[in-house]
Each structure stands twice: as C-alpha cells, then as structure tokens.
Chains A and B, each alone.
Chain A
Amino acid sequence: MRAFWSLFGLPLLAKELTEQAARRRTYVIRTVYAVLLCGFAVLIFWGEVFQNINDPLDMLGQGRSMLQILVALQIAGIVLFVPALSCGAISGEKESNTFGLLLLTRLGPGTILLEKYLGRVFSMVTFLLLSFPLIGFCYALGGVQQQDIWLSIFILLTMVFQLSALGVFCSAFFRTTVASFIATYILGALLFFGPILIQLSPSSARADMRRTAHNVINRTLQRINQSSLRSIEKLDRWTGAKTPTLSQKPQWETFNVNSDDMHIPFFPAPQMMSQMFNEWSPTPTWAIAIRAVPAWMLTGLLLLLARLVLVRRAFLQPRNYLMDFFRLIDRMFHAMNNRFTKGVVLVNDTLSLPVDDPVAWREVSKRSLGTFRYLLRIFLAMEVPILTVGLVVLGIGDFSSNLRHPLFLFFSIIAWTLGLLLVVVKSSTIISGERSSETLNVLLSTPLSSREIIWQKLAGVRRLSFVVAIPILTVVGLQMWYVTMHGVHEHTNYGYRGGRSNVDAIWLVYGLTQFLCVLVLIPLASWLSLLIGLLVRTQTRAIFTSLAVLVAWIVVPFVVAMITMSALGHEYEEVVLPTLLVSPAMLPALMESGELGGFSYEISHSKITPYLVILFTLGFYLGVVIVLRTLTLRWAPYLLGRQESGAELRYKSKRHALPTLAGRPSRST
C-alpha cells in the first residue's frame, strides 16, 4: 500500500513547496502583489464604475465591468511574474550542481520535470487566489454569471500553465537562469507577435514595405540625377505598379491594425476576454473556451520538448556568449582589415603595465567593455547604421510630412535603450563581479581606499558612457540638421509666435536639452547600478535588480498617473501630469516628440514655460546623481565591507551610523 502511495508522493514538489513556504521572501512578494492588485483594482473601480453612479442602487449589475478590469490586471500580473518564477526551475539546479544528484535518484526525468513544473504553477495559483475576495465582491454586485467566473478562472489558469511550461522549457534547455530568463521573454514575444506579423505580411505589410523601400530608392535616385527617371520607370514595370511611384504616398502610414482581426492562437486570453465581455454579440461559453485549445496544445508541446532536452542538456559546459561574440567580431574585423588595409593597425591595445591607478588600468586595458578596440566596435555598431540611414533621410528630404522625422525618434529610442543597457550591465557588475570571482577581499586588503577603488573601477564605465553618448547625440544632431534643411517650424508646440530666429533658438534648446539629458541621465543610470551592485551579492542579481529598478523608475510613474487619472478624472491633470517628470524617460521623450510645449500648457496653462520644466527636471535628476554619488562614496567602506581610516565607523554598537569620509582619494604613490 505504501509503495502504491509512494507513486503519488511527489517528493520534489513537496520539497519545492516546503522551501517556498520557509522563505520570508515568498510572503513579502505575495503581500506586495496583493496590495498592488487590490490598490489598482480599487482605484480603477473608483474611476470606471463608482464615479458613474448617482444612486447606490446603480451599483447593482456593475460587477461585470469590475470583473473585466480584475481579469485584465491578473493577466498583466501573470505575464510579468510567471516567466520570472518559472525560468529558474531546472537551471537553478544546474547552477548549484544539484541536478545531477536529482537524476541519480529513483525519480525519472519526466517526474522531475512534472514536479518542478507543478511547483511553479502552484506558486502562481496562490497569487491568483489573492484575487478571489475581489471576484466575490464583483459577483455580489451582480451582472456576473457563474460561468463568467469559471471562464475567467479558466482563462487565467490557461495562461499560468502555458507561460510556466514556456519558462520550464527554457530552463531545461539553457544552462543559466539568466539565459533562460531572457529566452523565456523573447520566445514568449515571438509566440505572441509572430502569428500577427505572419498574418499581416503576405497581404498588406510585405507589399507596403516593398513599396516604401521602392519609394525611398526612387526619391534618392531623383535627387542624384533626373536621368534616373528612366530607371524608375523600369523599376515600376518590374514591380507592376499601375501608377507612377513618385506620386505615391508612403503606404505604411495607412496601417490600421484592428485587434479584433488579429489572430493570437498561442495566447488567446485577450480574444477570449473580448468575446466574454462583449455584450452586443454574446458568444457561448464553450465557443470561448475552445479558443484555448491551441494554447493547451502548445503547453503540452513545450513540456514534451522540455522532457526531450532535460537530460541531453543537463550538463552543459559554461560558455561566455559575450566573449564568443566578441571573438567572432574580432575575427571578422581582422579579416576585413587584412583584406582592405593589408593589416594596418591605427591604435594598438595597450601593452603597458599599471603605474598609479592599477584598478583603472585593468578596467580600461583588460576588461572587454573597457578596451579601445571593443569600444570602437560598439561605437561603430551603433553609429554607422544611424549615420547611414540618417544621411539618406536627409538626402531624401520631404520623405515624411511630419514635423519631426519618425525615423529619428525610432533611432533615439534604440540608441538610448542600448546605451543605458550597456552602462547598467557594466556598472552593476564592476563590484559584484569582483565578489563573484572572489577577488574583492584581496583588493580590499591593499592600501587603496574604498573611494579610490570605486573611482578607479568607474574608469571603464566613463569610457563606455562616452561611447554610447555619441550615437544618441548623433541622432539629435541629425534631427536638428533635418529641421534646418527643411525649415520645419515647431513654434506652436512651445507656445511661441515668433519669427525664424525664435524657431532656431527653440531647436538650439532642443539640442542643448538633449545634450544635458545625456550628461545627466547616463551618469544617473551608472551610479544607480553601481550602488545596487554594491548592495547585491551576485553579478546576475545585480544586473537584473538594476534593470528592474531602472525600468520600474521609468514605467511606474506612467502607470500610476494613468490609473490615478482614470480614477480621479481629467480635472486633476494639473496635479497628476507633473508627476510624470519623475520618470527619467519623460523629458527626452517630450523633447523627441515635440510635445514639451503642450505638456507645459497642460500642467500649468501657460503659467510655467517649457524652459522652466526643462530646468526643473534636469536639476532634479542632477540632484539625484549627486546624492547617489555622495552616498555611494561616503558609504563605500561599509558597502564594500572593510574598516577604513577616516571613516567614523563603529559598527559594533551603532550599526546604522554611516561613515563620514573627508577629502578626495589620495593619488600619491
């Protein structure tokens, strides 16, 4: 009998759940999730439901719209949490070298996989349970039928099972949790957007893209020489265009993606919700539920694939993909250099030995993101496409009818994202990397002061910041050049009615502001990541925490403002909108979109000029940088974990008393 029950013992699942139950973190995260869910739900209920009610009896029957909001919030939570929860299920065991031991037990690979999978599913289901009181409240208000609740739960469970399967598959396939984490989100995005793109591309998008490309080529040729018209006619004949290409408007602007027409077979929750809450054309419950079949099939397929790769990829050798990539690029550049210049080398990597600042010397001459040749490659990889396409756009001129060219906005987003990503990764790992490789204690036992160590460690980050700043400023320069060439006026956005000289001044302010944004925001990301890297023990955690904090800092003000506006109504715009400036992305976004004037008007009705908004915002972020820098350097001995002369630290009794350091680091030998 015991043998029979042991078949259903699920020891690994029991261990997983026991471990989760023993961690304080589990309860903290659940509490935070519950507070956020309830907080957002109450705010949205208030704005969307309660504000439209004049009589208490009007509330009856409002449960349906509240349930819709609640399910949407839960779906967002699932998309955000489940991949992060499940991507370490197997890879975590691989990283701690315990997976081999698991495979040596009597548990079969399928059982291990299933129990790990269920462990993740159960965790997320407990998060879903937190919303049950709110669902009960919706039901009590009326307007919700029992099958609506069951269908909502079914939709949410479908997503949990599906995303958990995706995370577990990536976890079984990849060696590290970091790789698994990234792959889970990329694969999820591909599965979600892939079918949409495939559906769009054959009929409309591909043809439009071809016409757009065709248009660009045509206009470039027209600029170079009128004689190219003959070539255009040939090109027209080749593509079968019925009207001359020159008279065509860019077709891509006419895209109108209607979500109802889109097919999202693998993530059917939005469509199922849309059908479920569509009161005009009710769909039978079974017809809605059946839309989940592809998702469940995908879940099964992912679990099957995970089972197939589980043992085969259980003992992968560690690989440094960044280093492999750099080596590949190295080989390509060497081959190109040998072919075109016969091996001319303009700048050799330094072969010197350290003189005064050994840590800085290592950062800029030995670390992959610090040496000249790798920085040059990063610079070229970012700068060349921007410059090439930018110059082509400038050559074409009136390609777009917008005030600002959308391509420059796109490049600006790409350049900022890549630049910040590189700076955050580099800054967050300069100390945590030393901790991970067990070299920090050795460094701390030298006479170098903590401030010196940090300051010198930042030498590589400073170089990298300079390199990533150039492409961002190139985009700004191209945008200004574009405006100068084509006389684009944007005075209305600034509330000015002046002549040409005022317009030129405005564009100068645009350039100067963007330059100052680069000067302030990149160091902001750098110091923030460095501080997190000092607080966090491992490299991986440092990178993820830094990225998460930065993304949250950028996104949360928008989400909070959106929810607050939704709850309080637009009459509170003057109060809510300025809080958006707390997001570091707001000012560059306003400058790039040309909406600063409008924004200033919205928040103050002409009482505050855009210049004041710029000054206030930049001043605020400069202050944050100074505070972060001061705190990091002042607390450096404490954060690094060492005694230091001059640091008035007596940890034994005053644990929270933080050190006060006087003076800059000495550089004498």
Chain B
Amino acid sequence: MTEKQAAPPVVSVESLSIRYGSLQAVDNVSFVIPRGEVFGFIGPNGAGKSSTIRVLATLQTQFQGKAHINGVEVRDDPDAVREMIGYVPDFFGVYDDLTAREYLHFFAAAYRIAPQQRAGIVDDVLQLTDLTLKIDSPVESLSRGMKQRLSLARVLLHDPDLLLLDEPASGLDPRARIEVRELLKALQEMGKTILISSHILHELAQLCTRIGIIEAGKLVAEGSLSDIFRQLSLKRVVHVQLAKRMPELVSQLKSVRGVDDVEEQTDRLVIKLREDELAVEDLHSEIVRLGGRIRMYQPEAMDMETAFMKLTEGVTA
C-alpha cells in the first residue's frame, strides 16, 4: 500500500446536518474530497453550501454529523484544523486601513509564521497573485478583483492543504473573474485541494475535477464530471467547423448510431451525441470517413447547466 493510498482524504464529511431554528439548512450530507482534487459545490442560494463550508472552516458552532480535515475531526481539534485550511468567505472583508504588505504581514503574524520568513513568503504570494506592484498600495484603493486576489494571497501564506473558497468569483467583472480562474488553475497545478462553491456553472466545469450538487440542504449528486454526466445519460455537445458547407454530411451524421442531433449553425455544426454509444474520438473519425475536412473540433467540457437543471427542482430549504 503506497503512502498516498494510506493517507486519509483531505475532506471527509459524514451525515452532516445543520439546523437554524426550524430551518433544516443542511440535511444528512456526506462527501469526500481526495488530495489534489478541486471540488465544486453547486447549488442555488440558501441550499446549504456556505453552511457546509463554515463547518469545515470551524466557524459553525452547532451541527450534527462528522467533518474531518486530514483525518482530524473539526470539533476535536479546531485549532489544528485552522492550521490546515485557508478560508475565503462569500463576503470577503479586507482591512481598508492597511496596505497590501501590512495586510499580508498581519495575517502572517496571525498564522504565527516566523518573522524572518514573512517577507519572503509575502513576496511569493504577491507574485503568484500578480499583486507585486501593489504591495504598498492601500487596500481600499484596490479594485474588487484585486481585493479578491489579495484574499487568495492571504490564504496561501501558511501553505494550507485545503482551500475553502465560498463564491470567490461573485461580484467580479469578467476580467477579474478570468484572472481568479487562472489563479485557481495555477493553485490546482500546485497540488492544492480546493473546495469551491459557485453559481457560475461553466467556470466550475472548466476547473473542477469533482462536483457536488446541493439543493434544499440535500446533496443530490456527487462525483466526477463524467460520472454525473454518465449517470444522467446526458448528451455530449461537440462543436465542429468544416472547411466548406456540406449539407449531405449533416444528414449522414444524423443516421450515425450514437448521434442524437445535428444542428447547423452559421459557422459550425453543433452535434449532440450519446457518449456511451459513440465516443468523442470516434465521432471525429466518422466525420473524416464521411469526407468532412475539419477546421475546428471542440467537445464541450460538460453541459453543466443541463445537469444542474435536471438534478435540481428549484426547491429551497
């Protein structure tokens, strides 16, 4: 048995339930996040995402069930858990009276990083988040996107195993959103385990290795994207651009086994296929066999919106 196999998952939640008065916010939720995975937590407002994340961040005082971080139960040793996590809340407040350098040094001291190491670490995280030029700028002068990147820099200071990001892209403009997404990809490549909640489904689809869909406090689906995709028998969508328009190819493709529908758009064909009957690679071969000269071949990562709509019913807790 290898060391990796023996190590516990970074996050393990068992039968988690949270109740606020008469409201059952989270109802018997269980999931596991192995090391290095990016887990997307999807659900409508009030579904219980933030409450679940708050349990893992040791900020939820009343709950039932168990939540482990690296095998440590959050109630047994919350201080140890706090050393292992980096938490960015949904409303990320920052200290506007500090500069970016002071802000990061403040949290470096709070995380008890040795004073002689702090300057180097602060420089590193600022470089990673592309904020080096803003090091002495007052936090209040930073844009919202920069503040969000500063928050991400903060959670990286103590090099935690797990990042808990509650709606990190909410309220950001498109450019800032893309910057945050790229930063998260970089963190993913660094091997960080990330739990991220978001409403923006296609962004999660590009980033996440696993997803959990939560509605009215209940986890309605959980697993890798392909698992959920297969589980729901959803259609894979492939965008194909041909060198020239070929109407006969469209009718031929519609008769191929596994192809569900072919839609002719201005500059491309949008092909929906049943992946369990016809693999994406085989569709490519089939088009070539039928004489099509392919200029662009782009399978959609996942039709998350369809999955989400199919799995949820718009119910709130």
Contact = CB atoms under 8 A, between A and B. Distances in A.
A643 B97 contact: no
Interface in B75-117: 75, 77-80, 82-83, 85-87, 89, 91-98, 101-102, 105-107, 109-115
Contacts of B232: none
Contact of B79 (A434, A440, A449): A449
Contacts, number: 110
Given A366-B98, A438-B93, A669-B114, A642 B62 contact: no
Interface residues of B, number: 44
Interface in B13-64: 54, 57-64
A448 B82 CA distance: 9
A447 B106 contact: no
A491 to B, nearest CB: 55
Contacts of A361: 106, 109
Contacts of A356: 109
B102 A353 contact: yes
Contact of B112 (A359, A437, A445, A447): A447
B301 to A, nearest CB: 32
Contacts of B113: 669
B89 A447 contact: no
Tell me what chain A mostly uses at the interface: helix, strand, loop, or mixed.
Answer: loop
Interface string A315-355: 00000000000000000000000000000000000000111
Contacts of A358: 105-107, 109-110
A445 B115 contact: no
Contacts of A448: 110
B211 interface: no
A445 B85 contact: yes
Contacts of A446: 82, 107, 110-111
Given A358-B107, A437-B93, A446-B107, A669 B115 contact: yes
Contacts of A439: 93-95
A448 B83 CA distance: 10
A309 B140 CA distance: 32
A358 B98 CA distance: 12
A643 B75 contact: yes
Contacts of A353: 101-102, 105, 118
Contacts of A362: 95, 97-98, 106
Given A362-B98, A447-B112, A645-B78, A438 B91 contact: yes
Contacts of A652: 62-64
B74 interface: yes
Most interface-central of B57, B74, B82, B86 (chain A CB within 10 A): B82
A461 interface: no
A175 B76 CA distance: 47
B82 A355 contact: no
A348 to B, nearest CB: 16
14 contacts: A353-B101, A353-B102, A353-B105, A354-B109, A357-B109, A358-B107, A437-B93, A440-B93, A441-B93, A444-B58, A445-B85, A643-B58, A651-B62, A668-B112
Please give me the 3 A-B residue pairs with the lowest Cβ-Cβ distance, nearest first.
A438-B93, A439-B93, A643-B78
Given A439-B95, A445-B85, 13 more contacts: A354-B105, A356-B109, A358-B105, A362-B97, A366-B98, A438-B91, A438-B92, A438-B93, A442-B154, A446-B82, A446-B110, A643-B75, A645-B79
